[in-house]
Structure 1
Amino acid sequence: MRKIIFLLITACFISQFSAAQKWEKLFNGKDLKGFRQLNGKAPYTVENGEIVGRTVLNEPNSFLATEKEYGDFILELDLKVADSMNSGIQFRSEIKDADDKCNVTDKRTPERVHGYQAEVDPSDRGWSGGIYDEARRGWLYSMENNPAAKKAFRPGQWNHYKIECIGNSIRIWLNGVACSHLIDDMTPKGFIALQVHAIRDAKNVGEEIRWKNIRIQTTRLKKAPDDNVFVVNTLVNTISPDEKRLGYRLLFDGKTMDGWKGANKENIPPVWYVENGTLNVSKGRSASVSSGGDIITSEQFGAFDLQFEFRMTDTANSGVKYFVVEKEKTTNGPIGLEYQVLDDDRHPDARAGRDGNRKLASLYDLIPSNKNGREKIAIGEWNRGRIVVYPDNRVEHWINGWKVVEYKRGSPEFLALVAKSKYAKIPDFGMGAKGHILLQEHGTHVAFRSIKIREL
């Protein structure tokens, strides 16, 4: 009797385990049943149990999309791509008319695929495994956020992708290496699609990308173990469970100005206000710089990872200062290292300084930001800023997922730059062990939100 009970329990366990691990094939290995082609006319064929896409000249991006839509899922597939190609795996994606409000960038087709894309990039820049928002917001998770995973892609070989979408959490692995982790809620479901990227050079005609072993789980999903990958969280004023586990916390709760005070005073200057989950400094000089319009954190910080979102208006001028101390009684507010927040196109300060070192995301008056044009900076849109100060005094400035400034406090190079700047006569400028974080008032309207920090 005990043996029978044991066998029944074992059978039940195996049945439950199998149900939890149930995979559905998206590709039957024989034909393209269950798929439809969208946008471009690059040919897709089935050869040797593989889907093969080939590039054609002067066609927009082509997509072989599933007829079904998927919300929460775990997707796995293998692909091999020509070394000079670029491709991607669309997921939770949609199509809309090219003239609607989804920020479509390609008007040559009446419909345009847009949505999340797992990047496939065999080039030396190593962007495979990043998350791109096709025809919509651009890069959401560049691999600059996780440089250790840049070498996960194997050029000229089969590569295994795993995409996990559970609720607002999106994670990608490439050949078993954790690449990206995004928290985002713009599109909760959509189709999956295989991309053949557009080409403009006849020498690239006929290049191939191949896919096989395409399978998906949609029920009894189990989140993969934590991997400590840097998290990009676009949800406003929130800390995700993974961010909390890594040690992040909010410096602005979206409702009050608790934890902040006026620079060199206890009260908040009247130009600052909270509205619809954003922290705003108003336009005008009702509380000018000379009378103390800046605000600082009540706490002081040493090594840290600070993230914030900001939205500028025309001719905006502000900044995020760090290692701020209040002992310097200057007429222009407290002194500190400054992440510049500026409308580069319309504010005259962008043309002042040396070599562009007063432009957006620069280390103000010291080091110009090395922007590559992919940051998609636009007045009226939210931009993601980031300042990282390591325990060894290395410092980084980031904007929208791209590192644009890198230096080391106290290095000979840093000290030489200070000696040539407006800070030359300030003893030990920027070298404090700790300091406040400051948001600057400079007479223009700028909004902040999602201000969070992790002490390192």
Structure 2
Amino acid sequence: MKTKKIVWFSLFLLIVMSSAFSQEKWEMLFNGKDFKGWSKIGGKAEYVIKDGAIIGISKAGTPNTFLATNKKYGDFILELEYKVEEGLNSGIQFRSQSRKEYKDGRVHGYQFEIDPSSRAWSGGIYDEARRGWIYPMEKNPQAKVAYKPSQWNHVRIEAIGTSVRTWLNGILCASILDNLPEASNGFIALQVHEIYKAEDEGKTVQWKDIKICTTHLESVKTPAEETVYQANCIDNTISPMEEKQGWKLLWDGKTTAGWRAAKGTTFPSGGWAIENGMLKVLNAAGAESANGGDIVTIKKYKNFELTVDFKITDGANSGIKYFVDTNINKGEGSSIGCEFQILDDKKHPDAKMGVNGNRTLGSLYDLITASSDKFFRKSDFNTARIVVNGSKVTHYLNDKIVVQYERGTQMWRALVAYSKYAKYPNFGELEEGNILLQDHGNEVIFKNIKIKEL
């Protein structure tokens, strides 16, 4: 009997100890009294402490200012409360760095966006001073309602391995996968953003109840929500979630498999290069299809969602075409199909040609002008997205709709009749066609070419 009691008592202790060790432990990053463990970096905006909160005060004539933890963190769950005055943009840096060798010490890294404007991108993920927007809230517009104006807002950030997710007031806002080595560890910082209007000087952003957990994260992290879009920032890969949704790589990031010259049976011997997971059109002084020439998918597509990351050089011209028939126009120039225009609108003359800007970036080339409500990163990659569902087609640029149209209608045929495509019978009305990347003689870089057939 005594032996049984000892065994049961031992099991009880084991259960209690196991339970204790499995629980997460939270550490307060701010003691509510002073700035112990924190240092100011960057600009000259002021931080003060009042009623247990850190208050950042905007200041004219100074760049972004950051109050950063002296300690760096890799994997963690961070929670805090913030309140911001209308008109003042701000953010919470995490896994961030400030190194002399990088832009003379400029703070760079992930930022949880604080955006009280009508744009409503609070909770999005911005890569400060590095790659720019990784997860604008156009990727998850349902979460734009999460922010509460003039109130305390609750933030939760889970950064575990390659997965980073953000919540605002209990609503999942952003979800990314990213394996950038320099984004795996860094400090946490509170940002007072640079201001551009005199009336915004002296406005405040406040933070309080700042705590972090760095233990037992796998057991306490929030379960995955597959209904929210996950941005895969790991180049030329298909994530488990993407695979489940039916996405496939249209270019593998390494070889020419699946592609050929638009006017040949094999991939061009020149004019294109594959370097470090990027597919480049080489510069040929702007000569259209006169160097390597266009390339097309070997397979033809009917209903699909296509995404392509692209970056242009100064004055560059290129395009992504679909419903391409390579048997049309076997002579000089590009193959014929509907085109998502890629262009440096400010420096290439084609932006001022056509009709009412229908040759500008994102436009359905020479047919429909892209919306002026678009944003574009000249020095970084942008994402073109084309969705074809039957006769209905939509162009997105960096997650914003810029063109919508329907093929085969009376309006469609009128647009074609007034364009350079009028000479091609039934232009744009193929049931299926090749997808094309254009060689227009300017250096343009492509990566992350993915497709989901609908």
TM class by smaller structure:
0.7 to 0.9
Does 2:140 match 1:146?
A: yes
Aligned mates of 2:145, 2:281 — CA distance in 1: 43
Aligned mates of 2:191, 2:284 — CA distance in 1: 49
Cα shift readout 1:280-302 (whole Å, capped 9, x = no counterpart): 344449x9748993222122223
Equivalent residue of 1:70, what SS? coil
Q: How does 1:12-411 map to 2 (within 5 A)?
A: 12-18=17-23, 21-97=24-100, 101-102=102-103, 111-184=105-178, 185=180, 186-222=182-218, 223-228=221-226, 229-263=228-262, 265-271=264-270, 273-276=272-275, 277-284=277-284, 289=289, 293-326=293-326, 328-329=328-329, 331=331, 332-370=333-371, 374-378=375-379, 382-391=380-389, 393-410=391-408
Aligned mates of 2:344, 2:316 — CA distance in 1: 5
Equivalent residue of 1:424, what SS? coil
User: How far 1:351 moved relative to its partner?
Assistant: 2.6
User: How far 1:134 moved relative to its partner?
Assistant: 2.2
Aligned mates of 2:44, 2:443 — CA distance in 1: 47
User: How far 1:16 moved relative to its partner?
Assistant: 3.1
- For the structure 1 residues 450 and 81, does the alpha-carbon distance in structure 2 shift closer, same or farther, using more than 3 Å as the test? same
Partner of 2:419: 421
Aligned mates of 1:34, 1:359 — CA distance in 2: 50
- For the structure 1 residues 433 and 219, does the alpha-carbon distance in structure 2 shift closer, same or farther, using more than 3 Å as the test? farther
User: How far 1:392 moved relative to its partner?
Assistant: 5.9
Say which is worse superposed, 264-273 or 352-361, in terms of deviation: 264-273
Equivalent residue of 1:194, what SS? strand
Aligned mates of 2:283, 2:192 — CA distance in 1: 47
Aligned mates of 1:33, 1:394 — CA distance in 2: 58
User: How far 1:11 moved relative to its partner?
Assistant: 1.0
Partner of 2:428: 430
Say which is worse superposed, 174-183 or 269-278, in terms of deviation: 269-278
Equivalent residue of 2:430, what SS? coil
Aligned mates of 1:127, 1:209 — CA distance in 2: 16
- For the structure 1 residues 250 and 161, does the alpha-carbon distance in structure 2 shift closer, same or farther, using more than 3 Å as the test? same
Equivalent residue of 1:148, what SS? helix
User: How far 1:183 moved relative to its partner?
Assistant: 3.0
- For the structure 1 residues 154 and 433, does the alpha-carbon distance in structure 2 shift closer, same or farther, using more than 3 Å as the test? farther
User: How far 1:264 moved relative to its partner?
Assistant: 5.5
Query: Percent identity of the aligned residues?
Result: 48
Partner of 1:452: 450
Q: Which runs of 5+ in 2 are unaligned?
A: none
8 Å CA contact 1:76, 1:216 repeated in 2 = yes
Amino acid at match of 2:33: K
TM-score between the two structures when normalised by the length of structure 1: 0.86
- For the structure 1 residues 149 and 319, does the alpha-carbon distance in structure 2 shift closer, same or farther, using more than 3 Å as the test? same
Amino acid at match of 2:268: P
User: How far 1:375 moved relative to its partner?
Assistant: 1.8
User: How far 1:315 moved relative to its partner?
Assistant: 4.5
Aligned mates of 2:343, 2:198 — CA distance in 1: 42
Cα shift readout 1:368-388 (whole Å, capped 9, x = no counterpart): 33356742214xxx5233223
User: How far 1:90 moved relative to its partner?
Assistant: 0.8
User: How far 1:65 moved relative to its partner?
Assistant: 1.0
Equivalent residue of 1:255, what SS? coil
Aligned mates of 1:198, 1:329 — CA distance in 2: 53
Cα shift readout 1:346-374 (whole Å, capped 9, x = no counterpart): 44323321122212332111123335674
Aligned mates of 2:61, 2:281 — CA distance in 1: 48
8 Å CA contact 1:305, 1:386 repeated in 2 = no
Amino acid at match of 2:146: A
- For the structure 1 residues 301 and 160, does the alpha-carbon distance in structure 2 shift closer, same or farther, using more than 3 Å as the test? farther
Aligned mates of 1:314, 1:211 — CA distance in 2: 42
Equivalent residue of 1:172, what SS? strand
Aligned mates of 2:45, 2:445 — CA distance in 1: 44
Aligned mates of 1:353, 1:201 — CA distance in 2: 38
8 Å CA contact 2:73, 2:95 repeated in 1 = yes
Say which is worse superposed, 327-336 or 355-364, in terms of deviation: 327-336
Equivalent residue of 1:129, what SS? coil
Cα shift readout 1:294-319 (whole Å, capped 9, x = no counterpart): 22212222332222233434543322
- For the structure 1 residues 393 and 123, does the alpha-carbon distance in structure 2 shift closer, same or farther, using more than 3 Å as the test? farther
TM-score between the two structures when normalised by the length of structure 2: 0.86
Equivalent residue of 1:336, what SS? strand
Equivalent residue of 2:106, what SS? strand
